Structure 1
């Protein structure tokens, strides 16, 4: 890999930079594959990857993170589609330390993941929060917001609101959030080993433009952070302009203080200092992961409180809600209708969800349960993926690996003794989605937009 000379020159003098080791690691074919397990669906003792010969070892700064000994075909692993794990770069899992060391995660929190697509950090945050907390997962680009929604649905949590807003829109929520995570759009130099196109697109001008955009994003969203709230800023760039310079600019321009994190020596993460602040850089020749930078801040001043409002969203009448009792426990849920779609919101956060629906462009919230047709529910895929579904009263049909892949491809397949009616198609005990078994066929309700398009089937051993 030919790294730009201007890029190498820009790294000179950075704490921990070793030019020879840096160039060598970029020229070495040393792929690193890591996943993070979904604790609401699976535990670390379970087999999480189909296929022979895949071993896992822990990512040291993330309780549910694991390195894999080789990269399997995730596309053809039903457990991937069931939301049992997320394929995520190990360095970015350091977010867990930033949250755990600065925030009491057992409290009822309101957290914003501002630049959230495709969903790695949002699903990670959701795994760490209490059920009474609320995560707002936002993406400004509409197409990427759809991918974010799909990954949130697959993960299965019920306390998330997915939005499609510009950062400046969050000025409407002064002092609303306890934590704001900004994994900012950047020049992407930390991912050169994974994406050679990023090398070709890198330029000093692009770095400058990214730095300016990062400042605009941060300035727009900071009013939404409450006093004593936590800001977590990160990039997948090595550039000082996008890392240390932003750190210095935040402290100089806003009433923020840097929050140091405790590192374990064996992690080999490099701590950097700039203008009375601390940041953390991941060099790929020191850690088992890609390039990454993070810094954490606490807001010292108040910027007001969210305005008072009257709830506008009406919950479904008790009679209609009762029809959903066959599918889930409705005692701690409230159901709302948008068009012909019925969403389940946590009762404890009904007013928060309603407030967000009034102020932001919400594209998904809680759990989409389905549509009521003559007091009967036509269940949505999201309900199958969620943990609010009462699986004890729903017929589950266990599929073999071959059948599961056919189901995920939306191909025809048959199941002996499957019974009749709505059923959960499952693999290894984990739901994949719905199918409706009729006397002469199986109607496959796996979403068309999520289906596996590839035709090559790997070795099933």
Structure 2
């Protein structure tokens, strides 16, 4: 590791006192590796890296530490969405959700969502029939977010690529907003030397100003009584406690205590409720998280968008219906040539959202209808509700799965003219089709493994 900035070292000595030396030693130790399982995809299959599983992450029921870092890229189960490689401290979000959510369906906005770790955790832990909007402002990062959401395989998520100010006019639309704010990244010093090189006291001030702008932009979109979950991967009080205090003095809001039994987590000074993860005390990288409840605000009312003509009803092709679960809960849609489904109870809101923000993915894409036949979408192969018993499947070994994921030709005896789902350990990876003497590989070119 390159030398730490002197101003950072001095501040951490003041913050941690006698613990500071242990903290600095932790920064030069090896980072722990952790994964979080996708419960809908791993319930009936062997756990990935079972020989490397060390212990469960204490604050996350599906989180596990690994004894060492394997080559994740060469594991087909990662590409099939069976698990997500996520830093363990971030998984504390599950404890927060268990306390601030009940059984009522929610509308939730993950404002700075890329690459998708917290969004995939939200997808598994929100109340049944909730809707999650996963947003990312930077276009290239939004594409990565979309890919990871599709791999996770759920239908109650909308991915948007918008500046936070696009949500300002959606007053009271969201019951919860997660802001994993862009920050100075001090908590990543152990893993990312670039974060050390980019650190400066001027950059700290720029981060604080940006965080306040982001929060100001989305505050009106939070429903009365709704929760703002604020997190950073930095130790800087100016981006953590000072930001929470700024919210409390700027808006009518309250700091929410998150009750837990993990003594290694360091609380913020009273009366503020904030939670620090330091690498010398918890097994993970640096993280700060705090929860604010909004006390006032405007209840949400959906304004109908004026339309010259109503959208025609969309019917899904007969050959695709057996592949889907109970369609009474879904609304089909068509976008360009792509067919998809949305949760029926959120379809009107998603249409409204599309008029306000840049929607780049919604629900689950099913396929394209070509000459009365359906070309299945890649997302359908990864959909956790896909009725595999009605699909022609080909289970493959590790070597063949990696060939497929590199978008290379694979060979096996295939039924002529049929779409075939390639699976590895029962997890869907994508589609092939037998054409003449050839099996065409339809894995997305932009997703292919370029090198192992």
TM over 0.5: yes
Unaligned residue ranges in structure 1 (runs of 5+): 457-461
Name the TM-score, length of structure 1 as normaliser: 0.93
Secondary structure of the corresponding residue to residue 196 of structure 2: helix
Q: 1:281 aligns with which of 273, 276, 280?
A: 276
Unaligned residue ranges in structure 2 (runs of 5+): none
| Partner Cα distance (2:225, 2:328) in 1 | 34
Report what 2:117 is aligned to: 120
The reply on whether 1:60 has 2:61 as its aligned counterpart is: no
The reply on whether 1:325 has 2:321 as its aligned counterpart is: yes
| Partner Cα distance (1:264, 1:288) in 2 | 16
Report what 1:99 is aligned to: 97
Report what 2:84 is aligned to: 86
| Partner Cα distance (1:195, 1:369) in 2 | 39
- Once the two structures are overlaid, the 10-residue window that deviates more, 254-263 or 3-12, is 3-12
Name the TM-score, length of structure 2 as normaliser: 0.95
Report what 2:136 is aligned to: 139
| Partner Cα distance (2:331, 2:449) in 1 | 34
Report what 2:382 is aligned to: 385
| Partner Cα distance (2:305, 2:139) in 1 | 29
Q: Aligned-pair distance for 1:304? A: 4.3
Q: Aligned-pair distance for 1:282? A: 0.5
| Partner Cα distance (1:17, 1:143) in 2 | 43
Say whether the 8 Å CA contact 1:315–1:334 is kept in structure 2.
Answer: no
Q: Aligned-pair distance for 1:350? A: 1.5
Say whether the 8 Å CA contact 1:22–1:285 is kept in structure 2.
Answer: yes
- Once the two structures are overlaid, the 10-residue window that deviates more, 339-348 or 7-16, is 7-16
Matches within 5 A, 1:208-219: 208-219=205-216
Report what 1:203 is aligned to: 200
Write the deviation string for residues 160-189 of structure 1: whole angstroms up to 9, x where unpaired. Answer: 010111111111210011100000000000
For the aligned residue pairs, the C-alpha RMSD in angstroms reads 1.9
Say whether the 8 Å CA contact 1:315–1:335 is kept in structure 2.
Answer: no
Matches within 5 A, 1:161-310: 161-266=158-263, 268-273=264-269, 276-309=271-304
| Partner Cα distance (1:264, 1:407) in 2 | 45
- How many residues align? The count is 448
The reply on whether 1:38 has 2:38 as its aligned counterpart is: yes
Q: Aligned-pair distance for 1:374? A: 2.1
Q: Aligned-pair distance for 1:250? A: 0.9
Say whether the 8 Å CA contact 1:62–1:96 is kept in structure 2.
Answer: yes
| Partner Cα distance (1:257, 1:224) in 2 | 17
Say whether the 8 Å CA contact 1:118–1:144 is kept in structure 2.
Answer: yes
Secondary structure of the corresponding residue to residue 334 of structure 1: strand
Distance 1:109 1:311, change over 3 A: farther
